[in-house]
Structures are given as structure tokens and as C-alpha cells.
């Protein structure tokens, strides 16, 4: 009898846990980038429900997004039952560009939840030059080769993916380390994997946002790290395995006889009811990269080692230069490639100019420094009168074609005078034999007058010196006061005070607004109180179930008023009072 009571109590806890779980919907792409004609998968995961509805297609110009798969899974982890629905969409790129797949509406029971938007970069074959990709905008395979046994699911594995299998010496090869964990497993992973080897250099590893991916029909959580690999010698380069430490909660065995208890009542032991903590090391497989030397045929003398795809822009200032005044040529090299090994452009037709080694500065536009802009500045001084600056040449190797490309910039029209800065003329002394030579005066020598005191006053006693120091001191005092005021304004106390004032004003405006604008105004007030958590009702702490229903109704009415043809939905006095009470309590709670 006691055992039956125990089983009934366990069943009650499981049912209560399943009922109390809140629905949640997420969406993730199997790869953040691809090329035209190469489909990727969009996986929509809906947790804690047994039934949900999603649209068959998603309308995105330039993409064909169609639903082609659905799967259901029930799990139990430490007496906690979870159910998951996964919907898999095929995303086929029809044209190149950056696309945003809008939030997908999932109908769960009588509620609608939305996923976050997903962004996909589509390239026309070779990776294009982009302004601000993050992470590195290069195509990677969408599904790896999963090491698995017949009839068994691999719980976790690693994979190293290269953007290409053949590269030149000195070329940057964007790469991604991926670590897959089956969605039935929970746990924690290390900050970054152990990665390195001989024959290549690698950029600092950059995190890729965690995502979900369907592999061989199974749902995996993917942790990714991107880097740029640069081979330093030709031949077959073997990139060794990298490892990532993780502590996982894996399915365990029940106590002896526990499974027999369930079988006595005609049931089976729920999967995932018992788990064990295990420290594991996930390793990728070694990958071989074919490295070839840069071609000798057609190699220009001014080739400085740049490999990639680049553009060049240049400017010259000033347009008119006095004798000895420098002219600065600013050159911007942008694109994708090995910026670290890139040399400066070459000046051509620079006769009549004195030039100095250029300065350089690199501004990356992705975490692995594969894309960006490198700026060179040449300082030139005319030795002869010149009407134009030297020209510019920049040569790079295009790995897509294997040919050298030269970018040129024609000379800029300027007016530059020759010579150094003209010195101040010195008066010539009278050469007459009767003339008395006058002593030369040092700039700091006091000039004396017969029978009088010196007319030179020490610097610290001059009025100009006193006024200048007074203004400097006043400037620093004002700067100090300004910095203190700015620091106080940015303090948590002042920000919290300003936020509390803004919330009180929103509550006051809500109390007097018209009925036709009430739901829209109340929705804005809710966002003002809880910020970005307004639509995620489940993570707003301190709400009762009744208050959550009031908030959900408020958001649905606000959306209906905003997007449907029934604009201006009016609340009843009771609805208005309930919304006001919930928002007032939330305002007092978030103001603490």
C-alpha cells in the first residue's frame, strides 16, 4: 500500500510539473550563411506542449521557406516532465543578400507565441565584401558527418568545418569549431576549446550564438567558435583535433528494483527520470587542408603578400601646400583577406617628392579579422614645385581565380611649393668703417636703456601669462564640475529615479486616456515598466496566474487594436480597472 501511495504521489508531481510548464517557442538556422541554391534548415522548437500549429510557408522575398517535417518528444529529467515539438522548415535561397526571416507565430491552445527573427546571409558563390558581418560571413556546411552506431543516437560530438579545402600559403581560411549536444542532454560547457597546431596560425576564437540544428533526424544544441586559419607552408596541412570540456547530465540507471515497481502496474520507467553528472571531453576530427604556394607566373614585383578580395580608395590633402608643408595621401584598403600580412600600396612617379614610410591602422568588421578596412597614410614633401602627387598601385592575389590583380589610383592634382620653410631674414650690419658694430641680441636678453631699468619683464609677471593661467584653471574647474554632473546623471540612483518618474507619468496618462486608445496606451505602459520582457510573460516575476492572464489579454487586445480591422477596441470598466491594478502593482514592484 505504501508503495502504491508513493507511485501515485510521483504521478501527481509529474502531472503538476507538466501542467505548470509555460510554453516557449524558439527558432534557429542550421547555418547563419549559405550560397544561392544551397538550402539550410530552420528549426522551430515549441516546448511544454503536445499540440501546436505553425504556418506551412513563410513569406520572405528572395527565399523559399516551406514546412517539411514535424517531430514530438517527451522527456523526464529528475521527476520533471518536458514535451517538445519541433517543426523543420526548408529555407532555399533564390538570390544573394542579407535576409531576415520574420518571427513565426505558433498557435498553442488558445494562445499565440512568437519566435525571434532569424537572419541569413546568402552569397553568390564566393564570399562577398561586407561592411559589418558578425560572425565571419563565410559559407559552412549545414550538416556534418555524425559518428553513430546502428540504431543508436550519438549524445555528443565535435566537428571542424573549413570554408574551403584548398588554400594558398598566407591565405586566411575562415573556420568554425562546432560541438553538438543532443537536446535530451543538459549541462555546462567550457569557455572555449583547446585549439592549435604546427604549420598554421589562428585568430583568437570567437563565440557563435548557440543554436539548434537537426542532424540525421535528431535535434542537437550547437555551440560554435569561429577563427581564421592561416597556413605558413605549402603541402598537406593536418589541422589536429580540438577538445572542449563539458559537464553533462546524462541518463542514468534507476535504483535496484525501481523499474519493477512500474512494471507491476503495467507501465515502463519514463526515460530521463534519473540522470548522472559526467565530465566529458568532446573532440573534433582532424581535418586536412591542401596548401599551395602563391603562383610565380604573373607575379608583380610590388606584390606584398595580400591574398583576398579588396577595394581601394584614396584622397590627398591639402590641395595647396606652402614650402615645406606636407601633403598627406590617405589610402583605404577594404574587403576580405589577410590584413595582418598586407603591405602598403606602392607610390609611382614620385620624382620630385620626399616620402616617408606610411603609417597603418586596421579596423576589423568581424570577430576573426577576416573583413575590415586598413588605412595607410603617406606623408610627402615637395623637393621641386609639383602640380600633382605620385600615383598608387596595390597588388593582391585573388584566391578565387588564382590571378594577381592590381588596383591603381591616378595622381591627385595639387599645388606644392618646393623647399623648406623660409627662415626669418636677419638684418645686415652697416659695413661702413665709421659705424660702430651693434651687438647681436638674444631673444631672452634684456634690452637696456641708458640711465633706466630693463624693459624686459619676467614671464610669470606678465599680465598675459596670468590671464592665460586663469583661463586654464577655470577650464579645468568647469571640466571637473561637468564630469561630476555627468557621473551623477549616469549613476544607478539617478537612472532608477528617472525610470520611476517615467513609469509614474505613464500610469497617470493611462488613467485619463480615452477608451479607444486604452489598450494601446496600456501596452506602452507595460513596456515602459518591464522593458523587453513585456511579451515574455513567463519571465516576469511576481505575477499570479490571474495577473498573467490579464497581461496576456492586454497584449492580445493591443495587437488586435493595432493590426486588425477592429481598431480602437474599447474596454469595459471592469477590464480597465483590472489592467490598472496589475500595472500599478508591477510599477511598484519594479520601482524597488
Query: Nearest-CA neighbor of 32 among 163, 115, 140?
Result: 140
β-sheet bridge partners, residue 141: none
Q: What is the pLDDT of residue 462?
A: 55
Residue 259 lies in a domain: no
In this structure, the answer to whether residues 110 and 148 fall within a common structural domain is no
pLDDT tens digits, one per residue of 311-341: 999 999 999 989 889 999 999 999 999 999 8
β-sheet bridge partners, residue 47: 24, 84
Query: Domain range for residue 370?
Result: 313-416
Give the residue, 22 or 518, on which the prediction is more confident: 518
Give the residue, 447 or 5, on which the prediction is more confident: 5
Residue 260 lies in a domain: no
In this structure, the answer to whether residues 168 and 115 fall within a common structural domain is no
Virtual torsion, Cα 518, 521, 522, 527, nearest 10 deg: 170
Query: Nearest-CA neighbor of 174 among 216, 196, 203?
Result: 203
Q: Which of 386, 416, 446 is the last residue of a domain?
A: 416
The answer to whether residues 336 and 308 touch, using CB atoms and an 8 Å cutoff, is yes
Q: What is the pLDDT of residue 491?
A: 80
Per-residue DSSP letter, 380: E
| 309 φψ region: left (φ > 0), alpha (ψ -120 to 50), beta (else) | beta
Distance CA(162)–CA(293), nearest Å, equals 19
Phi, psi at 98, each rounded to 5°: -100, 125
| 468 φψ region: left (φ > 0), alpha (ψ -120 to 50), beta (else) | alpha
Of the pLDDT bands very low, low, confident and very high (cuts 50, 70, 90), residue 143 is very low
In this structure, the answer to whether residues 65 and 156 fall within a common structural domain is no
Q: Give the 3-state secondary structure of residue 3.
A: helix
Query: Nearest-CA neighbor of 225 among 158, 278, 273?
Result: 158
Phi, psi at 412, each rounded to 5°: -90, 145
List Cβ neighbours of 242 (8 Å cut-off, separation of 6 or more): 158, 160, 177, 193, 194, 195, 283, 284
In this structure, the answer to whether residues 108 and 86 fall within a common structural domain is yes
Mean predicted confidence (pLDDT) in 263-290: 73
Q: What is the pLDDT of residue 264?
A: 56
Indicate the range of 111-120, 224-233, 537-546 predicted with least confidence.
537-546
The answer to whether residues 306 and 376 touch, using CB atoms and an 8 Å cutoff, is no
Q: What is the pLDDT of residue 532?
A: 61
Q: What is the pLDDT of residue 256?
A: 62
In this structure, the answer to whether residues 200 and 278 fall within a common structural domain is yes
Tell me the helices (H) and strands (E) count for the chain, helix number first: 7, 32
Residue 163 lies in a domain: yes
In this structure, the answer to whether residues 565 and 507 fall within a common structural domain is yes
Give, in order, the Cα–Cα distances in Å from 406 to each of 304, 309, 311, 444: 11, 11, 10, 58
pLDDT at 571 over 50: yes
Of the pLDDT bands very low, low, confident and very high (cuts 50, 70, 90), residue 496 is confident
In this structure, the answer to whether residues 401 and 479 fall within a common structural domain is no
In this structure, the answer to whether residues 152 and 285 fall within a common structural domain is yes
β-sheet bridge partners, residue 521: none
In this structure, the answer to whether residues 372 and 483 fall within a common structural domain is no
Indicate the range of 28-42, 53-67, 197-211, 309-323 predicted with least confidence.
28-42
CB atoms within 10 A of CB 86: 19
Separation of CA 80 from chain center: 35
Of the pLDDT bands very low, low, confident and very high (cuts 50, 70, 90), residue 473 is confident
Q: What is the pLDDT of residue 466?
A: 64
For residue 82, whether the previous peptide bond is cis, meaning omega lies within 30 degrees of 0, is no
Residue 330 lies in a domain: yes
- End-to-end Cα distance, the chain: 51
Report the domain count for the chain.
5
pLDDT at 442 over 60: no
pLDDT at 539 over 70: no
Distance CA(283)–CA(193), nearest Å, equals 9
Q: Which of 259, 293, 327 is the last residue of a domain?
A: 293
* Average pLDDT in the chain: 77
In this structure, the answer to whether residues 157 and 220 fall within a common structural domain is yes
Per-residue DSSP letter, 163: S
Of the pLDDT bands very low, low, confident and very high (cuts 50, 70, 90), residue 251 is low
Residue 137 lies in a domain: no
β-sheet bridge partners, residue 416: 321, 386
Indicate the range of 110-124, 211-225, 329-343, 410-424 predicted with least confidence.
410-424
Virtual torsion, Cα 467, 468, 471, 475, nearest 10 deg: -170
Amino acid at each position: 500500500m505504501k508503495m502504491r501511495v508513493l507511485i501515485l504521489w510521483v504521478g501527481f508531481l509529474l502531472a503538476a510539473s507538466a501542467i505548470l510548464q509555460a510554453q516557449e517557442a524558439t527558432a534557429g538556422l542550421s547555418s547563419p550563411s549559405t550560397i544561392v541554391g544551397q538550402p539550410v534548415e530552420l528549426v522551430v522548437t515549441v516546448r511544454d506542449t503536445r499540440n501546436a500549429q505553425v504556418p506551412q510557408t513563410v513569406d520572405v522575398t528572395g527565399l523559399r521557406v516551406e514546412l517539411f517535417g514535424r517531430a514530438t518528444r517527451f522527456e523526464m529529467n529528475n521527476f520533471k516532465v518536458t514535451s517538445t515539438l519541433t517543426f523543420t522548415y526548408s529555407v532555399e535561397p533564390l538570390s544573394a543578400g542579407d535576409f531576415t526571416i520574420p518571427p513565426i507565430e505558433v498557435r498553442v491552445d488558445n494562445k499565440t507565441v512568437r519566435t525571434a527573427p532569424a537572419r541569413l546571409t546568402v552569397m553568390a558563390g564566393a564570399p562577398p565584401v561586407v561592411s559589418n558581418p558578425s560572425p565571419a560571413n563565410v559559407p559552412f556546411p549545414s550538416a556534418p558527418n555524425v559518428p553513430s552506431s546502428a540504431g543508436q543516437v550519438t549524445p555528443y560530438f565535435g566537428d571542424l568545418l573549413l570554408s574551403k579545402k584548398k588554400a594558398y600559403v598566407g591565405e586566411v581560411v575562415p573556420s568554425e569549431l562546432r560541438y553538438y549536444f543532443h537536446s535530451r542532454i543538459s549541462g555546462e560547457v567550457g569557455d572555449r576549446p583547446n585549439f592549435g597546431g604546427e604549420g598554421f596560425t589562428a585568430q583568437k576564437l570567437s563565440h557563435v550564438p548557440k543554436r539548434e540544428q537537426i542532424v540525421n533526424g535528431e535535434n542537437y544544441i550547437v555551440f560554435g567558435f569561429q577563427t581564421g586559419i592561416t597556413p605558413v607552408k605549402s603541402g598537406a596541412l593536418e589541422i589536429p583535433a580540438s577538445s572542449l570540456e563539458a559537464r553533462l547530465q546524462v541518463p542514468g540507471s534507476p535504483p535496484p528494483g525501481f523499474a519493477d515497481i512500474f512494471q507491476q502496474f503495467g507501465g515502463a520507467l519514463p526515460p530521463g527520470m534519473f540522470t548522472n553528472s559526467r565530465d566529458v571531453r568532446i573532440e573534433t576530427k582532424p581535418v586536412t587542408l591542401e596548401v599551395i604556394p602563391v603562383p610565380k607566373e604573373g607575379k608583380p614585383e610590388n606584390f606584398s603578400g595580400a591574398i583576398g578580395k579588396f577595394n581601394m580608395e584614396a584622397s590627398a590633402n591639402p590641395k595647396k601646400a606652402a614650402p615645406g608643408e606636407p601633403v598627406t595621401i590617405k589610402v583605404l584598403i577594404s574587403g576580405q583577406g589577410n590584413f595582418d600580412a598586407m603591405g602598403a600600396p606602392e607610390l609611382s612617379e614620385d620624382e620630385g617628392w620626399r616620402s616617408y614610410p606610411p603609417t597603418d591602422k586596421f579596423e576589423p568588421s568581424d570577430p576573426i579579422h577576416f573583413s575590415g578596412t586598413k588605412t595607410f597614410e603617406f606623408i610627402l614633401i615637395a623637393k621641386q614645385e609639383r602640380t600633382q602627387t605620385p600615383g598608387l598601385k596595390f597588388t593582391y592575389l585573388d584566391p578565387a581565380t588564382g590571378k594577381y590583380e592590381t588596383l591603381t589610383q591616378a595622381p591627385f592634382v595639387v599645388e606644392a611649393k618646393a623647399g623648406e620653410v623660409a627662415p626669418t631674414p636677419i638684418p645686415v650690419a652697416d659695413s661702413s668703417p665709421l659705424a660702430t658694430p651693434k651687438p647681436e641680441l638674444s631673444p631672452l636678453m634684456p634690452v637696456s636703456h641708458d640711465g633706466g631699468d630693463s624693459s624686459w619683464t619676467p614671464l610669470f609677471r606678465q599680465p598675459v601669462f596670468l590671464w592665460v593661467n586663469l583661463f586654464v584653471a577655470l577650464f579645468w574647474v568647469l571640466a571637473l564640475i561637468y564630469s561630476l554632473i555627468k557621473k551623477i546623471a549616469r549613476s544607478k540612483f539617478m537612472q532608477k529615479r528617472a525610470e520611476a518618474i517615467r513609469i509614474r507619468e505613464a500610469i497617470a496618462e493611462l488613467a485619463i486616456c480615452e477608451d479607444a486608445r486604452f489598450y494601446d496606451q496600456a501596452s506602452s505602459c507595460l513596456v515602459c515598466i518591464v522593458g523587453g520582457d513585456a511579451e515574455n510573460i513567463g519571465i516576469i516575476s511576481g505575477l499570479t496566474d490571474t495577473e498573467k492572464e490579464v497581461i496576456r489579454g492586454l497584449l492580445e487586445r493591443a495587437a488586435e487594436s493595432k493590426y486588425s480591422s477592429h481598431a480602437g477596441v474599447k474596454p469595459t470598466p471592469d477590464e480597465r480597472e483590472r489592467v490598472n491594478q496589475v500595472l500599478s502593482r508591477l510599477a511598484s514592484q519594479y520601482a524597488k
